[in-house]
Chains A and B, each alone.
Chain A
């Protein structure tokens, strides 16, 4: 039934490949588990912080005082954007390396040492934040100063990350040399490789800024405020591009696992990944468009990632991922009409619904707003308003975190060998989370259009010498943001509850008995569509004159129209304001 290639890949997922050696594999798995567990704890801490921040910005409740609001906002940013995401990404690298390439885990002790370093650095940062010695927010813009241990903690964490990334590169060498796979590395591993390369670029920026800032915090040198912003964003924005590359890899992975999605064209998808590596670190400029330190030529060139070549990459993946799903479904006989494949898709599989929601919200909201706000002049009406967190919650939360969550429902049975607790709840989790975050992001974006600042404790400006009046609609918009945010937090809570319960108190999943556990593990693991050989090698007959994937063509056409309309609407909005230049 199966092509030999897929059979070679599957046993390794299930740890039945005798050639790899079970003991060594255990190390990779244990490392994945450790990283995943810490990532989830970080998500919990960051999620509680999210709730507190939300209930404070919701002016009707205004929970925290000013000191604790900014403190908890710092905690939220560091735990979500650095600790949760990077611990999870290290788990992804450990999966895309030893597991997918079917090889042993090299440098096991070093890998545990790196993990220990990351945990140590993280604890140091947590300690300074919670004791009020680092009320500087995620960006810690110099000359706002935190305790030197805050910077030291970040440096230790980064060193640990760099070592694990290095071990991932070593895994590729080991696998190649020991011939654990034939041909080229799978696309998912290739994507993870690009994420790892971007991680190295990012961490070098991090070293270039946090080490001098650490010395500065001890009074040993000066750091220029503008130079800090430029180099720091080489870390801050590039790290979000690690997320993008990791997320897109997970899109391809989830498409494979849930519906047997295929890679339409290896060349196209791989070139798109390479474009990320080449141009992504220029995105530091997105944060400096209305800064005094750089000229317009620099801003235009950098903010556009070399004439938008990284945007082109995302637009390519935005086509090839759904097209791969569509082709995979059509090859399995779901050939009816434009959207028969979508109608018959496993919408109750939380891996699949997470995939679709991640692609859609990331693309339509995160992507379009990001490119628009990252336009040099349009940034005048976006910089530091709620439009910015509106944008990045659509990318990092509804995009990256959503994809990570979707993958988790496969990782628990595959790596932890457990059934998923509260599975009926888990099936609705992606919808709750995605729609909540969508509402939240859109409301934030609208609030920012009216000028509402980000990172502000009190929108009534109590104690200020002059009053500030917002549009009467603002209260409603903020209430919608709060409701959306609460829905997202409930969705995140279900995720944490189900994963923690499954991993620590869950019922075991005997190997090879997946079919007996319908209703407690995702459908993809029961049908295992990635092992089936499609009926035909030829592209199936598709309706209309739109080629082999007409449904995807229709969907990207809608996306394109939305993009063009939103982009030019913002130019129009800009033209109404005071002349400035």
Chain B
């Protein structure tokens, strides 16, 4: 005898389930284990993770590091914003503030960088357009992510965390160039500039 949802079950209601229920619960449980296992597996095998190198940082210190970074590697300027071309393998800095991303980054295709993200005022959202790579940029925290641009081109950084009335104007730029076009292509890779990975000696 079944009760409905508004009847009080009398006596012991701890009874065996239907076979269909048991089978479904077993399948659902197995699927939950797959869902759980996929995340550690992707850490071992996948190319896209969120681990990063994470530290607390004072806003003033991060601003200072960004300025040093810009001073060291600036190669030009666009609409008042410095263009910076750091060597492959180096630590690079991107500072979010109301309402700009500073500086413009020129990166080398196939090279790995450690991209440091932070904010000096409120929360911002890092959205690499059009690849749709998203990270939260939190004031007081330095998120260092190893990134490897996979293709050359012009990209944008769109802020996707509400940061005040000028939020929609907060658009930054990333340029990815091939190893030949890269300022570091010859030197940093230690060869003739044709090394597609461009990583060897990247710390010079």
Set B33, B135, B167: member contacting A383, Cβ < 8 A: B135
Instruction: Evaluate whether A293 and B20 lie within 8 angstroms (CB atoms) in the complex, with A304-B35, A578-B149 already known.
Output: no
Tell whether, in the assembled complex, residue A290 and residue B2 are in contact, meaning their CB atoms are under 8 Å apart: no
Q: How long is the Cα–Cα vector from A549 to B23 in the complex, in angstroms?
A: 12
Tell whether, in the assembled complex, residue A299 and residue B50 are in contact, meaning their CB atoms are under 8 Å apart: yes
Tell whether, in the assembled complex, residue B10 and residue A461 are in contact, meaning their CB atoms are under 8 Å apart: no
Tell whether, in the assembled complex, residue B27 and residue A456 are in contact, meaning their CB atoms are under 8 Å apart: no
User: Cβ of B28: which chain A residues have Cβ within 8 Å of it?
Assistant: 312, 315-316, 319
Tell whether, in the assembled complex, residue A256 and residue B6 are in contact, meaning their CB atoms are under 8 Å apart: yes
> Contact mask A463-483 → B, CB, 8 Å, 1/0?
111111111000000000000
Set B79, B112, B140, B168: member contacting A456, Cβ < 8 A: B168
B127 sits at the interface (CB 8 A): yes
User: Cβ of B138: which chain A residues have Cβ within 8 Å of it?
Assistant: 225-226, 229, 291-293
- Chain B contacts with A in 9-62, Cβ cutoff 8 A: 9-11, 13-21, 24-25, 27-29, 31-33, 35-36, 38-40, 42-43, 46-52, 54
Tell whether, in the assembled complex, residue A466 and residue B173 are in contact, meaning their CB atoms are under 8 Å apart: yes
Q: How long is the Cα–Cα vector from A224 to B172 in the complex, in angstroms?
A: 26
Nearest-neighbour CB distance to chain A for B156, whole angstroms, equals: 5
Instruction: Evaluate whether A380 and B135 lie within 8 angstroms (CB atoms) in the complex, with A262-B4, A578-B150 already known.
Output: yes
- Contact count A vs B, C-beta below 8 Å: 344
- Chain B contacts with A in 45-85, Cβ cutoff 8 A: 46-52, 54, 78-79, 81
Interface of B is mostly: mixed
Set A184, A553, A577: member contacting B131, Cβ < 8 A: A577
Q: How long is the Cα–Cα vector from A382 to B15 in the complex, in angstroms?
A: 42
Q: How long is the Cα–Cα vector from A371 to B35 in the complex, in angstroms?
A: 9
User: Cβ of B168: which chain A residues have Cβ within 8 Å of it?
Assistant: 66, 456-459, 461-464
What residue in chain B is nearest A573 (Cβ atoms)?
B132
B200 sits at the interface (CB 8 A): no
Tell whether, in the assembled complex, residue B146 and residue A464 are in contact, meaning their CB atoms are under 8 Å apart: no
User: Cβ of A375: which chain B residues have Cβ within 8 Å of it?
Assistant: 35, 38-39
Tell whether, in the assembled complex, residue A66 and residue B165 are in contact, meaning their CB atoms are under 8 Å apart: yes
User: Cβ of B148: which chain A residues have Cβ within 8 Å of it?
Assistant: 578-580
B87 sits at the interface (CB 8 A): no
Most chain B Cβ neighbours within 10 Å, of A265, A385, A457, A537: A265
Instruction: Evaluate whether A579 and B147 lie within 8 angstroms (CB atoms) in the complex, with A186-B7, A229-B138, A466-B173 already known.
Output: yes
A70 sits at the interface (CB 8 A): yes
A346 sits at the interface (CB 8 A): no
Instruction: Evaluate whether A468 and B132 lie within 8 angstroms (CB atoms) in the complex, with A184-B9, A571-B38 already known.
Output: no
What residue in chain B is nearest A454 (Cβ atoms)?
B160
Tell whether, in the assembled complex, residue B32 and residue A183 are in contact, meaning their CB atoms are under 8 Å apart: no
Set B4, B21, B33, B169: member contacting A319, Cβ < 8 A: B21
Nearest-neighbour CB distance to chain B for A184, whole angstroms, equals: 5
Instruction: Evaluate whether A253 and B147 lie within 8 angstroms (CB atoms) in the complex, with A293-B54, A307-B33 already known.
Output: no
B143 sits at the interface (CB 8 A): yes
User: Cβ of A135: which chain B residues have Cβ within 8 Å of it?
Assistant: 165
Tell whether, in the assembled complex, residue A261 and residue B132 are in contact, meaning their CB atoms are under 8 Å apart: no
Nearest-neighbour CB distance to chain A for B140, whole angstroms, equals: 6
User: Cβ of A151: which chain B residues have Cβ within 8 Å of it?
Assistant: none
What residue in chain B is nearest A65 (Cβ atoms)?
B165
B145 sits at the interface (CB 8 A): yes
> Contact mask B163-176 → A, CB, 8 Å, 1/0?
11111111111000
Set A184, A469, A547: member contacting B18, Cβ < 8 A: A547
Instruction: Evaluate whether A450 and B160 lie within 8 angstroms (CB atoms) in the complex, with A289-B50, A291-B136, A293-B54 already known.
Output: no
Q: How long is the Cα–Cα vector from A291 to B125 in the complex, in angstroms?
A: 10
Tell whether, in the assembled complex, residue A451 and residue B129 are in contact, meaning their CB atoms are under 8 Å apart: yes
Tell whether, in the assembled complex, residue A377 and residue B50 are in contact, meaning their CB atoms are under 8 Å apart: yes
Set A185, A309, A312, A580: member contacting B49, Cβ < 8 A: A580
- Chain A contacts with B in 387-433, Cβ cutoff 8 A: none
Instruction: Evaluate whether A265 and B18 lie within 8 angstroms (CB atoms) in the complex, with A255-B5, A307-B32, A575-B47 already known.
Output: yes
B134 sits at the interface (CB 8 A): yes
Q: How long is the Cα–Cα vector from A249 to B48 in the complex, in angstroms?
A: 39
Nearest-neighbour CB distance to chain A for B53, whole angstroms, equals: 9
Q: How long is the Cα–Cα vector from A224 to B168 in the complex, in angstroms?
A: 25
User: Cβ of B1: which chain A residues have Cβ within 8 Å of it?
Assistant: 537
Tell whether, in the assembled complex, residue B21 and residue A578 are in contact, meaning their CB atoms are under 8 Å apart: no
Tell whether, in the assembled complex, residue A224 and residue B140 are in contact, meaning their CB atoms are under 8 Å apart: yes
User: Cβ of A467: which chain B residues have Cβ within 8 Å of it?
Assistant: 171
Instruction: Evaluate whether A376 and B36 lie within 8 angstroms (CB atoms) in the complex, with A290-B135, A580-B146, A581-B51 already known.
Output: no
Q: How long is the Cα–Cα vector from A137 to B39 in the complex, in angstroms?
A: 31
What residue in chain B is nearest A542 (Cβ atoms)?
B20
Tell whether, in the assembled complex, residue B20 and residue A548 are in contact, meaning their CB atoms are under 8 Å apart: yes
Q: How long is the Cα–Cα vector from A187 to B127 in the complex, in angstroms?
A: 45
Nearest-neighbour CB distance to chain B for A96, whole angstroms, equals: 9
Q: How long is the Cα–Cα vector from A385 to B127 in the complex, in angstroms?
A: 9
A343 sits at the interface (CB 8 A): no
What residue in chain B is nearest A449 (Cβ atoms)?
B132
Most chain A Cβ neighbours within 10 Å, of B40, B50, B79: B50
Tell whether, in the assembled complex, residue A581 and residue B127 are in contact, meaning their CB atoms are under 8 Å apart: no
Tell whether, in the assembled complex, residue A380 and residue B50 are in contact, meaning their CB atoms are under 8 Å apart: yes
Instruction: Evaluate whether A252 and B31 lie within 8 angstroms (CB atoms) in the complex, with A291-B138, A468-B158, A581-B48 already known.
Output: no
Give B residues with C-beta under 8 Å from A. 1-11, 13-21, 24-25, 27-29, 31-33, 35-36, 38-40, 42-43, 46-52, 54, 78-79, 81, 100, 112, 117-118, 121-123, 125, 127-143, 145-150, 156, 158-173
Q: Known contacts A380-B135, A578-B48; can you find 6 more A-B pairs with CB under 8 A?
A: A307-B33, A383-B136, A462-B168, A465-B81, A465-B100, A560-B31
